[in-house]
């Protein structure tokens, strides 16, 4: 409040529910930033080069953000098991998964991914891979696990014998299909 020269009465005017309501607003804002920071790549997963660009953008976001996760901080202060915090996180995961599933379905439709893949489950696994990699990053400061999780997830989506199986999506031997 000191930094913004905001009084308690001003805060309670906009957030009559108090601290929890304020923290939920912060959490909603940070959750939307998670997805906004992945655009436009997340919304245009229509080629292997687009998937590569999305992967690189995710890694770059966490590299730039460092070990400080504003969403995690806000949700932790509210309490991860509160209804409001769970709703914010569930909404983020649901929207993120839906965007990835849309990209998978597009790639299946143009013959670049196996139509036998369950797009929703594959997208759920991809979100879990990112989140697991991020949690390890927040604990260790190293991005190796996040990069490996993304690379292996994308290799699974490409399928056996798919392009770029010998290297990460952004590295040597990466996908050549555009």
Tell me if 123 is assigned to some domain. yes
Burial pattern 137-173, b for ≥16 Cβ within 10 A else e, equals: beeeeebebbbebbbebbbbbbeeebebeeebbbeee
pTM tops 0.85, yes or no: no
pLDDT tens sequence across 70-99: 777 777 778 777 898 889 999 999 999 999
Tell me if 147 is assigned to some domain. yes
Tell me if 24 is assigned to some domain. yes
Tell me if 170 is assigned to some domain. no
Structural domains of the chain, count: 1
CATH of the domain at 98: 1.10.357.10
Tell me if 108 is assigned to some domain. yes
Tell me if 151 is assigned to some domain. yes
pLDDT tens sequence across 114-133: 999 999 999 999 999 999 99
What is the extent of the structural domain holding 101? 14-158
Per-residue pLDDT at 59: 98
């Amino acid at each position: 409040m000191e930094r913004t020269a905001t009084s308690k009465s001003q805060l309670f005017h906009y957030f009559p529910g108090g601290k929890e309501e304020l923290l939920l607003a912060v959490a909603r804002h940070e959750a939307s930033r998670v997805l906004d920071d992945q655009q436009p790549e997340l919304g245009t997963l229509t080629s292997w080069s687009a998937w590569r660009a999305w992967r690189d953008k995710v890694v770059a976001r966490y590299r730039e953000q460092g070990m400080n996760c504003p969403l995690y901080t806000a949700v932790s202060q509210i309490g991860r098991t509160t209804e409001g915090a769970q709703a914010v996180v569930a909404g983020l995961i649901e929207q993120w998964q839906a965007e990835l599933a849309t990209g998978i379905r597009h790639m299946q439709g143009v013959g670049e991914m196996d139509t036998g893949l369950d797009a929703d489950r594959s997208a759920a696994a991809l979100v879990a891979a990112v989140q697991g990699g991020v949690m390890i990053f927040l604990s260790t400061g190293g991005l190796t696990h996040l990069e490996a999780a993304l690379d292996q997830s994308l290799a699974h989506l490409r399928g056996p014998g798919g392009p770029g199986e010998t290297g990460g999506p952004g590295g040597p031997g990466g996908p050549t299909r555009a």
